[in-house]
Structure 1
Amino acid sequence: MKPISARYVAQLALIALVATSQPLDAHEFWIDAGQGGPVIGESVSADLRVGQDLSGAALPYLDTTIRSMTHFSPRDSKPLASRLGDRPAINNVTFASSGLHVLTVETHPAYIVFDTMPEFEDYLAYEGLSEIADRHRERGLPGSGIAEEYLRNARVLVQVGPVGDSDVDRPTGMPFEIVVNGTPFVAGKRTLTVRLTWQGAAAPHIQIALFHLPSGGTAPSDTTRTLVETDGEGYAEVPMPGAGQYLLNAVRIEPADGPGSVVWQSHWASLSFGIEP
């Protein structure tokens, strides 16, 4: 095992802090930029949320948690800066040009410990990763105190002005990301093709969960969850049932040997956007 680091200790303290205000079943991490599209020159702020079924508390900006935040405009990209403790964590992003904009957030590693094997198995089943339980046993790992390191890769799409032919999503270079084939902002769109990639290559046969909260609805009671799986080239087709908030989430997990007692490392990809009525 690798030696435990000061960052690991700090992250464990952060977990304890977050656990006091978050439900134990919190899963997803996403960027919430609202449902409406801004106009050229307008500034928008966005919350970083953690929770489930599109119900989650807004987190403050902490440089111990956030590795990077970036604004990809149709013309260029630039880092986003926030002050410690800012909430919303993404502040006053100005959209100076029309087109499809992408905001991204990558996190530093954080840590969680599952007290029992059934608790670990429930989590794996929810994320479509049940086979990891067998691999856990094959590795001869303990059935309690199961420590996992996790990293988040979140994206949100924002359409500024009318949709044009060139307004299409594109990869942003994050390790694990969900990218739309085209754009979700075409009026009347009922299905959406997305591609999941890992380190720039196709991520095949991985579960993607689609969460949809209809306009005027209340999360989590009105949120629906639909599961799809990527094909051999990393593509999946998801339904678009109408206006509202959308969140797509995928998880991959691999063996780890530390830091400390960590035996698994997971990577989380999320994609969010809002469709106006």
Structure 2
Amino acid sequence: MTTTALHHRIDGPDGAPVLVLGPSLGTDLHLFDAQVDALADRYRIVRFDLPGHGQSPSPAGPYTMRGLADDVVALLDRLGMDRVHYAGVSIGGAIGQQVALDHPERVLSLAAMASAARFADPESWPKRAATVREKGPDAMVASRPGTWYVPSFSDTDEARRLLSMLRATTAEGYAGCCEAISGFDVRDRLAEVRVPVLAVAGAEDPATPPQMVRIIADSAAVGRFEVIEDAAHLLNVEQSEQVNGLLAEHLADAVAGSRHG
């Protein structure tokens, strides 16, 4: 995969610590609107769109997690940003793990939400990719309630907004990212991550259940694990206040540690 110039948006004051936010499969950078509202007074926040998502271009797949991580580092290079705090959801959290492993000098802290060091059923992801290449992302819409969010969240404007992001994703961008997920496995490397790690799971997430997310925190040198009740996969939207509080605490501790490290 050649480097993709990822579409991005920057919020927050110049000179503040940089926080990079990586979105989930089938969503765009607006997945993190609530986090920007809560944190942009203290952090310089960089959000990006995955290839074929939002306004990022859609090169031919398959993609790899290493390639996606390199795209993020290339974005930071273009922006002149050296060391950053990183937080991501699902594949966005996997990209963060890959950046922390392949480019450790660039990462000050890592938060992985509804993510995994190895996603479930790796053999199913190429099949999903083939389905989406044939039928488009609309083929995934019916399966998102109960996976992306708990059933009680389905009839909300936020749920409809999330599904609109999925419908706007290109088939190749979605499928290529599925193939990156299929080939991702860093379980035997996570002990190399030396920066503070926060892993957050949705209690009702069938895609990355708590025991899967916990591996990230337990494997890192300095890890914290939290479970959010009444939340599924896109927990940062469903339970934004709780997630914002955890992120704020995690980042404040990491910033203080980096200043005294």
Same fold (TM over 0.5): no
Quick check: which one's helix share is greater? 2
Quick check: which one's strand share is greater? 1
